[in-house]
Amino acid sequence: MKKQILLVSLLIISVFVSNAQPKDGGIDAKMLEQLRKGYTASPDQKAVKNALASNSIATLAINGDNLAMCDTHFSHRVKTKGVTDQKSSGRCWLFTGLNVLRAKMIDKYKLANMEFAQNYCSFYDLLEKSNLFLQAIIDTRSLGLDDRKVDWLLKNPIGDGGQFTGVANIIMKYGVVPKEAMPETYQSSNTREMRKFLSLKLREYALALRKAESDAAASALKVSQLTEIYRFLVECVGVPPTEFEWTMRNRKGEVVSTEKYTPKSFYEKFIGEDLENNYIMVMNDPSREYGKVYEIEYDRHMYNGENWLYVNLPIERIKELAIASIKDNTAMYFSCDVGKYFNRERGTLDLANFDYESLFRTTLPMDKRERILTHASGSTHAMTLIAVDLDENEKPRKWMVENSWGKTSGYRGNVIMTDEWFNEYMFRLVVERKYVPQDILDMYKQTPIMLPPWDPMFAPEK
Residues known to be catalytic? 92, 381, 403
Amino acid present at 138: I
CA distances from residue 158 to 29, 75, 131, 222, 444 in whole angstroms, order as listed: 47, 41, 10, 16, 29
* Closest C-alpha among 252, 417, 446 to residue 338: 417
- Burial pattern 2-23, b for ≥16 Cβ within 10 A else e, equals eeeeeeeeeeeeeeeeeebeee
Q: Is 372 exposed, middle or buried (0-12, 13-18, 19+ CB in 10 A)?
A: buried
The answer to whether 111 and 249 are in contact (CB under 8 A) is yes
CA distance 332 to 196: 31
Q: Is 338 exposed, middle or buried (0-12, 13-18, 19+ CB in 10 A)?
A: buried
Please give the angle made by the CA atoms of 447, 450 and 452, to the nearest 5 degrees: 175
CA distance 379 to 458: 7
Q: In sequence order, which residues have a C-beta less than 8 Å from that of residue 390 and are 6 or more positions away? A: 75, 76, 323, 396, 397
Half-sphere exposure of 277 (CA within 13 A, CB side): 3
What is the secondary structure of 286-333 as a DSSP string?
TTS-TT-EEEETT-SSSTTS---EEEE--HHHHHHHHHHHHHTT--EE
Secondary structure class of 410 (helix, strand, coil) = coil
Residue ranges in 81-191 assigned as alpha helix (H): 92-109, 118-139, 148-155, 164-174, 186-189
What is the chain's Cα-based Rg?
Answer: 25
Please give the angle made by the CA atoms of 147, 125 and 422, to the nearest 5 degrees: 85
CA distance 210 to 146: 13
The residues with which 429 forms a beta bridge, in sequence order, are: 282, 334
CA distance 233 to 130: 11
CA distance 152 to 203: 12
